Structure 1
Amino acid sequence: MIAIFGGTFDPVHLGHLNMAKQCVSAFNLNTLYFMPCALPAHKAAPGINTQHRVAMLNAAIAPYPFFKLDLRELKRSGPSYSLLSLQELRAAHPTTPILFLIGMDSFNSLDQWHQWQAITQLCHIVVYQRPAQQRNVSGELHAYMQQAQVDDPSALGHSIAGKLYFLPGEPLDAASSIIRQQLKKTNKKNELLPDAVSQYIQQHALYLNDDNTH
């Protein structure tokens, strides 16, 4: 299996690591790839430059041998469409199941993604669902959920794509946007960040103002 976890990671925080570790455990993965995007299609562009985001990711995943980086979206020009990355991965691994890890917020708006139905045919969607989070879908996305959802994670190993699994997750309230607001007031150690990421942010004086791209 190939597992991909995409995002801006601006900055990467303990919630991201928690999600990824739960996914590795549930599917007994050897490797999960963090795939930072350059220009997200559905969010504002990251305020921190690519070099800093990659450095923070490397610092965060260093203690975990099963985490690696996939930097393909940073090397591509234009918006970071997940479809393009999944097409590349599928072409390189035509017979391997691909897991695409996303959060509940992303799943609830999946039908707004670029060619979202094509994405569901290239990979299995794994949605990290914390206890209080609700699925809020309708129309074609609801129809996809009803048709594709499985309750046994092992089912995703029996086909290369097309399934949907809701991964039960621990409640850990960490959001990059809130962390950035906190860091703007003080970039000292933040309890929602890995220590190595806090140290990097402090060392480079990141997130202290709105235009912090140095």
Structure 2
Amino acid sequence: MAATLPLRRVGMFGGAFDPPHWAHRALAETALGQLELDALHILPTGHAWHKSRVLSPAHDRVKMCELAFGDLPRAQLDQREIHREGPSYTADTLRELKREYPQAQLFLVLGADQLLAFKTWVRWQEVLELATLAVANRATNIGADIPLDQASETDLSGVDLPFVRLDMPLKNISATAVRARVGQAAQSAGALDVLVPEPVARYISQHHLYQSPT
């Protein structure tokens, strides 16, 4: 049997995924294609040190990630941050991935809003040493009441960090907007399809998630 070649290009895409929506899905697809990744680790957040609100239960977010990303070639759901005790930091996960893929170039996939806040991250300098930032721009307006086709690009011209740009259509969708719309007037699964993949919409409806928007 021929020896298995080591993976050369590995991505990390982390987030609360509360819930995973169409912009998350598009970003994963774009990263896999444009970065020519051999693997993309989808990592639901465990204890989110930077989130002021309480996240939905981990098992719900994991299940929704399975429904949103499970059919993407070379994407794999990675639950290590869910099972890690205490605050979960990107630097720790990247260091673990570096040990698992010692010959690979690592990419951290993120959106423009995360890039703008990057220097507030714990050990952000270490993250830069371990991975190349791969950034997709994001619509400036992503509130719950913003029309989905109204999109102006976030200005990244003042960012003094090295990153590669991912070219994908702007999507003014956010998890906050999804949760808000679910909380409005008994949204059906069908009404959510424009915001989240249909299996995720069905899961939200069946399990009565986000009835009280946060």
Q: TM-score range, shorter-chain basis? A: 0.7 to 0.9
What is the match of residue 103 of structure 1? 111
Q: Distance in 2 between matches of 1:4 and 1:187?
A: 32
Q: Distance in 2 between matches of 1:45 and 1:79?
A: 14
Aligned-CA RMSD value:
1.7
TM-score by length of 2: 0.82
Paired residues of 1:187 and 1:206 also in contact (CA < 8 A): no
What is the match of residue 197 of structure 1? 200
Structure 2 residue 50 is matched with structure 1 residue 42: yes
Residue 46 of structure 1 and its aligned partner are, at CA, apart by 4.2
What is the match of residue 82 of structure 2? 74
Structure 2 residue 130 is matched with structure 1 residue 122: yes
Percent identity over the alignment is 27
TM-score by length of 1: 0.82
What is the match of residue 4 of structure 1? 12
Which range moves more in the overlay, 74-83 or 182-191? Answer: 182-191
What is the match of residue 155 of structure 2? 134
Runs of 5+ unmatched residues, structure 1 = 149-163
Alignment of 1:135-154 (within 5 A): 135=156, 137=158, 142=160, 145=161, 148=162
What is the CA deviation profile of residues 41-66 of structure 1, one whole-angstrom value per residue up to 9, with x for unaligned ones?
22234431000000111111233233
What is the match of residue 62 of structure 1? 70
Residue 4 of structure 1 and its aligned partner are, at CA, apart by 0.8
What is the match of residue 174 of structure 1? 173
Runs of 4+ in 1 over 6 A off after TM superposition: none
What amino acid is the match of 1:183? V
Paired residues of 2:180 and 2:213 also in contact (CA < 8 A): no
What is the match of residue 158 of structure 1? none
Q: Distance in 2 between matches of 1:13 and 1:46?
A: 19
Paired residues of 2:21 and 2:195 also in contact (CA < 8 A): yes
Paired residues of 1:8 and 1:46 also in contact (CA < 8 A): no
Partner of 1:3: helix, strand, or coil? strand
Change (3 A) 1:72 1:61: same
Paired residues of 1:187 and 1:207 also in contact (CA < 8 A): no
Change (3 A) 1:45 1:89: farther
What amino acid is the match of 2:95? Q
Runs of 5+ unmatched residues, structure 2 = 1-8, 139-151
Change (3 A) 1:122 1:178: same
Paired residues of 1:39 and 1:45 also in contact (CA < 8 A): no
What amino acid is the match of 1:172? K
User: Which of the pair is proportionally richer in helix?
Assistant: 1
Change (3 A) 1:137 1:112: farther
Q: Distance in 1 between matches of 2:92 and 2:70?
A: 27
